Amino acid sequence: MHQVSIPISDETIRSLKVGDPVLLSGVMVTGRDAAHKWMVESFIRGTQPPTDEDRLVYEEIKPLLDRGVIYHCGPIVAGLESKEYKFVAAGPTTSTREEPYQGDVMRHFNLKGVIGKGGMGVNTLAACQEVPGVYFHAVGGAASLIAQSVEEVLGVYKYEFGVPEAMWVIRVKNFPAVVTMDAHGNSLHAEIEGKSRAALERLLAEAG
């Protein structure tokens, strides 16, 4: 079991290999479809001019993401009216929806870790090698258990996106995950997909 502290150094990232179990501790940011689209269109590709408020948010999240981790998560949050926020459930959401954006986000912000479920594609894998970074697979169906690793909600950005899509800043301790895409070009997801395809083709050939 690897104990990994956020911010994460390049040395630590390169020491991680697919299959390694990790416990993450430190500050991370949640972000799903709306957040990734906003970051890329407003600040990376420049297709949607940012507002003054957007620029302020950008300046505040930039140091959080530098050598940091983004979590594909749509949490259930208590204390919305009092703003005494507490994560009730914090399970991962499917990561493939962020594939068009993730590599650019990793490079722009020097993002070292991406957490989600289901893995990602070749663009993100290439960014993992370049930045360097890794993809951490969190356990699906364990939202309440994962929420127990969230010690504190430090703040929230882009609340107008809605609670699941907002960018929540959280402090975690011993957040459980497994490295399934590493900085050396290895992807457990691609490997399993390849083996599954080969097995399917063999079965179809035998049936024919």
Mean pLDDT of the chain: 92
Among 94-103, 145-154, 184-193, whose mean pLDDT is lowest? 184-193
200 HSE (CA, 13 A, CB side):
6
Q: Please give the residue range of the domain that contains residue 45.
A: 2-207
The residue type at 103: G
Nearest to 74 by CA among 166, 167, 164, 172: 164
Indicate if the pLDDT at residue 204 is higher than 80: no
Q: Please tell me whether the peptide bond between 132 and the residue prior to it is cis, using omega within 30 degrees of 0.
A: yes
Interval 59-69: pLDDT, tens: 999 999 999 99
CATH, residue 13: 3.20.130.10
Task: Kindly state the tokens that stand for 173.
Answer: 């301790």
Indicate if the pLDDT at residue 177 is higher than 90: yes
* Residue/partner pairs of 170-174 with CB below 8 Å, 24 or more apart: 170/27, 170/28, 170/29, 170/30, 170/71, 170/87, 170/90, 171/26, 171/27, 172/24, 172/25, 172/26, 172/27, 172/28, 173/25, 173/149, 174/23, 174/24, 174/25, 174/149
Q: What is the pLDDT of residue 189?
A: 67
Q: What is the pLDDT of residue 197?
A: 54
Strands 86-89 vs 21-30: parallel, antiparallel or unpaired: unpaired
Q: What is the pLDDT of residue 144?
A: 86
168 HSE (CA, 13 A, CB side):
29
Q: What is the pLDDT of residue 200?
A: 44
Distance CA 208, CA 203 (A): 9
> Can you tell me the mean pLDDT for 29-50?
96
Residues known to be catalytic: 36
pLDDT classification of 205: cutoffs 50, 70, 90: low
| Cα Rg of the chain (Å, integer) | 17
Nearest to 79 by CA among 178, 16, 150: 150
Indicate if the pLDDT at residue 141 is higher than 80: no
What share of the chain in percent tops pLDDT 70? Answer: 90
Number of domains in the chain: 1
Q: What is the pLDDT of residue 96?
A: 94
The model scores a pTM over 0.85: yes
Q: What is the pLDDT of residue 192?
A: 54
